[in-house]
Chains A and B, each alone.
Chain A
């Protein structure tokens, strides 16, 4: 077990393209950190720099108290779970799990013991002598995690490990990963583009955009106090309404803001509400309905109970304290 520290880490490719810049993250021992952001935001590059698969152009990465910038991936005491599992197709599940230990000259009885333990934890005992191609997606995913577990590393690195699974399995596996990590207490760094996955798994979230950190915080902190319009729009589903302040000049206390954010679930129908929208579409979700419309050319979405009354024009009110204000030029939060 170990902490991981990223100090001013950056990645510049030959040719000058900057993928990541000035990233500082302190990951405590045993903590579950999720790097989240849209594709191309540099989250995978960051993870791969920690793994040692990508060279570090700027700054320092420490695992434990050791600077690992120039240390081979194999010697960084980390294990990684890949998106496409990267199981060796010609080896049985047992051989897949044992390969890393064998290369480290672990004694045979010890290898067997650890493989058996991992198989027990992940319930893949019956498949140990099968080849990966004879397994389902979920089983392969478990084997990939098993390969990480047997190593008993200082940290787990996950690179979008669930995105090749179907939606239902993804939810189950998400929970399993969370429980497993709590049980083993291993420091984990997890990359995903799925904000829901990020929210549910993380002790703390790191939201990235264009190679920069937008915000670091617990899921609730990030949800309640998004640090920028980018985070506000990215975290939470349905996404927060971001309205140009000029469209709703009559809202109190918003004079100095450029953009006003209101979450759809913080809006409700009220005869005297300050915002009036004309409805363009309704999506039924079962438990609630999403009503889409616009006011003064700005798109607005409201989450309403499924028995609420609908008409072409709705007047909306918001929960007190539910307004998020953002700076016009920088998009940063104003408190």
Chain B
């Protein structure tokens, strides 16, 4: 630092600690609420310290759930979310890599047209074309299926651009050496491109896993059978529960469980996560 000003350093720490506290506050309160019996919410305000029912509440939600809300046990919803998130992340990476490979390493008629078709998806977020997209999926009989949950979301211009960028930085000589070494296009893809893009794939996977796990509107629309409810969309159904009085301790336990996997991924793989964010935004 330029000069040593203990006052400023102190202020900086204060700002940060305050920031961390504000950022953590809602989650702390949710956690506290998820450890109390329902009686704790009858009498005025929420308690600020954890209660005795942590195991009771969580095992109830994971085990049987709240049948009156029409939602399945949280463990089922988490499994559905996991399947959806993995299908979206892996699917996006797979089709983006092959498209980027085709665009960068081949010359063929209408190459630019194909590129623009992919590019345009950037301008069509699902929220904007929700009604007709829903109709297509319904007509294809994909409602209430894992395919319906994931496939319409896996086309991605961002991921294609990312891999295009990665491939463009791989020296031409490597391709030429591989050709002289007798590697055809698919062998080159498997033996050279895939291993060289491993870190980018991992970083992108982290971002896409979070993206997939956190989907809300789409699962809400395409799942009417509770067998396919995902946890993020399921919370809303739980909060809207019967009698209009949400069972807050159970809703918050579900919210905690809904946050756990993606937050764990971000904290556990912080470096890949940051790389993924920066990569996809350039």
Contact = CB atoms under 8 A, between A and B. Distances in A.
Quick check: do A and B touch in the complex, using CB within 8 A? yes
Interface of A: 51-53, 72-75, 78-80, 82-90, 99-100, 103-104, 147
Contacts of B240: none
A84 B180 contact: no
A99 B181 contact: yes
A46 B171 CA distance: 20
A82 B176 contact: yes
A83 B174 CA distance: 11
A89 B183 CA distance: 16
Given A86-B171, A88-B192, A53 B176 contact: yes
Interface in B141-194: 171, 173-174, 176-183, 187, 191-192
A41 B110 CA distance: 34
B244 interface: no
Given A89-B196, A90-B195, A90-B196, A78 B173 contact: no
A74 B171 contact: no
Interface of B: 171, 173-174, 176-183, 187, 191-192, 195-196, 198
Given A82-B173, A88-B174, A74 B192 contact: no
Q: Considering residues B178, B180, B196, which has the most beta carbons from chain A within 10 angstroms of its beta carbon? A: B180
A74 B181 contact: yes
Given A90-B195, A103-B187, A73 B180 contact: yes
Interface of B is mostly: helix
Nearest to A89: B196
Nearest to B195: A90
Given A72-B179, A88-B177, 4 more contacts: A74-B180, A80-B177, A88-B191, A100-B180
The listed residue with most B CB atoms (<10 A of its CB), out of A51, A79, A99, A147, is: A99
B10 to A, nearest CB: 44
B176 A100 contact: no
Contacts of A100: 180-182
B183 A84 contact: no
Contacts of B177: 80, 82, 86-88, 147
Nearest to B196: A90
A79 B180 contact: yes
A103 B180 contact: no
Nearest to B187: A103
A11 B18 CA distance: 69
29 contacts: A51-B176, A53-B176, A53-B179, A72-B179, A73-B176, A73-B179, A74-B181, A82-B173, A82-B176, A82-B177, A84-B171, A86-B171, A86-B173, A86-B174, A87-B177, A88-B174, A88-B177, A88-B191, A89-B196, A90-B198, A99-B178, A99-B181, A99-B183, A100-B180, A103-B183, A103-B187, A104-B182, A147-B177, A147-B181
A80 B176 contact: yes
B196 to A, nearest CB: 6
A2 B174 CA distance: 26
Nearest to B176: A53
Contacts of B198: 90
Which 9 residue pairs across A and B have the least CB separation, nearest first?
A: A100-B181, A86-B173, A103-B182, A74-B182, A86-B177, A90-B195, A82-B173, A73-B180, A73-B179
A219 B178 CA distance: 34
A80 B180 contact: yes
A52 B179 CA distance: 9
A51 B173 contact: no
B170 to A, nearest CB: 9
A276 B183 CA distance: 64
Contact of A84 (B173, B181, B195): B173
Contacts of B179: 52-53, 72-74
Most A CB contacts (10 A, CB to CB) among B171, B173, B181, B198 go to: B181
A283 to B, nearest CB: 37
A100 B182 CA distance: 6
Q: Which of A80, A86, A87, A147 has the most CB of B within 10 A?
A: A86
Contacts of A88: 174, 177-178, 191-192
B175 to A, nearest CB: 9
Contacts of A82: 173, 176-177
Most chain B CB atoms below 10 A, which of A52, A72, A82, A87? A82
A99 B192 CA distance: 11
Contacts of B196: 89-90
Given A84-B173, A89-B196, A78 B182 contact: no
A103 B176 contact: no
A286 to B, nearest CB: 38
A104 B52 CA distance: 68
Contacts of B174: 86, 88
Contacts of B178: 88, 99
A90 B182 CA distance: 18
A82 B177 CA distance: 8
A306 B182 CA distance: 56
